[in-house]
Amino acid sequence: MRKDTSFRVVTQIDPGFARQVDGSSLQAAATVALSHSGAPAGAALTLVITGDEAIRQLNRQFRQVDSPTDVLAFPAAADVPFVEAPDQPLYLGDAIISYPRASAQAAEAGHSVKTELALLAVHGTLHLLGYDHATPEEKAVMWAAQEAILAELGLKLNAETPDA
């Protein structure tokens, strides 16, 4: 596995899930995704692990879907003008992950919650980098990238990657 410390990945874990979530493995997953995708040195993002109600509220507010989901990505707004200090990293945005969804999906897929969380961290990071899966072509590219990144992390999915 490549180790690139020129990226900054911050994890924020809801206290209710702190015992179940290894923040360093999530940081590693996002870092490998950044490195694999050729993100600029110094790129930064935040991974948030939360519960279904918090992610449901965000999903309702920003996507008009009144239900929880597994991961939401909020890219930093490139069209909002503001002054950045030259020594600050490029901030890509936030990926919000529902621990209960990850746990349920892991059980359904037959792999560990740790693997599912890594998949969702990679998936959210790729969205922050501009990947999407709205068309079959985009999905094929994104899923191939996810598979390669998870392989680089030494993780293997037991079932087809979910339509996150």
Residue 65 falls inside a structural domain = yes
Q: pLDDT (tens digit, 9 = 90+) per residue, 82-139?
A: 555 666 678 999 999 999 999 999 999 999 999 999 999 999 999 999 999 999 999 9
CB 63 within 8 A of CB 74: no
Residue 1 falls inside a structural domain = no
CATH number for 119: 3.40.390.30
- Among residues 79, 76, 74, 72, the alpha carbon closest in space to that of 92 is found at 76
Residue 58 falls inside a structural domain = yes
User: What pTM, to 2 d.p., does this model score?
Assistant: 0.88
- Among residues 101, 158, 86, 92, the alpha carbon closest in space to that of 124 is found at 92
Structural domain including 108 reads 8-152
- Among residues 63, 69, 23, the alpha carbon closest in space to that of 46 is found at 23
Residue 164 falls inside a structural domain = no
- Total domains in the chain come to 1
Amino acid symbol at 127: H
Residue 160 falls inside a structural domain = no
